[in-house]
Amino acid sequence: MKKAVFIILCMAVFMPFAVEARTCEYGMPSPPIYYNGNWAYGQVINFKTSASSCLADNMYVYFSDGNYLSTHNFTIEAYLMEKDKDPNPDDKAKLYFGYNSGYSLMKWTLQQKFDGNLDSAGDQTCELYMKFRLKEPLAHNNVEYFDSDMFRYTICMD
C-alpha cells in the first residue's frame, strides 16, 4: 500500500514537468525587405511534427533584435507558410505584424492563426518558411531595400 501511495505521489509531483518535443531553427536573419512592398522570403526548414499532420497550433515563431535599428516608421506583414509541391499553392499558418516606430526596437504581434490541416493527412513533415513585406510601401518603383538581419526570427514545431 505504501508503495502505491509513493508512486501516486511521484506521478503527481513529476507529471507537470513532462517535456514537449519541440524542435527549433534559431536566430535566422531577416531577408532584405523591399521598400516597394514586394515579398521577401526566408529559407525553408523541414520539421517533423508530433501531430498526425501539419497544424498551425503546433507551429511557433519568436522574433528578436537583429544587427541594426531602422529609423523609418513602418509595419511589416509576416506570414509563416507551409510549402506545398507545385502546382499547389503554399498554405498560410500564421500572420504576424512587426511595428517599427524608428525610436525603439520592433514589436511583433500575432494577428491571425489559420486552422485545419496544412498538409496531406498523415504527412508529418512540415516545410516551413517566412515571407515578409512592408504593409504600406515606402516607395513604389524603386528596388531599394532594408538590409538583411534587421531582425531575427526562430521557427519551432511541436
Model confidence at 5, pLDDT cuts 50, 70, 90, reads very low
Please tell me the predicted confidence (pLDDT) of residue 52. Answer: 86
pLDDT single digits (tens) 33-90:
999 999 999 999 999 998 888 999 999 999 999 999 998 899 999 999 999 888 889 9
Model confidence at 12, pLDDT cuts 50, 70, 90, reads low
- Whether residue 10 is predicted with pLDDT greater than 70 in this model: the reply is no
Q: Check residues 157 and 140 and name the one with the higher pLDDT.
A: 157
Cell of 30: 531577416
pLDDT single digits (tens) 99-131:
999 778 899 999 999 988 887 777 889 999 999
Please tell me the predicted confidence (pLDDT) of residue 1. Answer: 53
What type of residue sits at position 62? Y
Question: Left if phi > 0, otherwise alpha if psi is -120 to 50, otherwise beta: which for 115?
Answer: beta
Model confidence at 20, pLDDT cuts 50, 70, 90, reads low
Q: Check residues 17 and 110 and name the one with the higher pLDDT.
A: 110
Instruction: Compute φ and ψ for 4, nearest 5 degrees.
Output: -65, -40
- As a 3-state breakdown, the chain gives helix, strand, coil percent values, each rounded to 5, of 10, 45, 45
Burial class of residue 11, CB neighbours in 10 A (0-12, 13-18, 19+): exposed
This prediction's pTM: 0.84
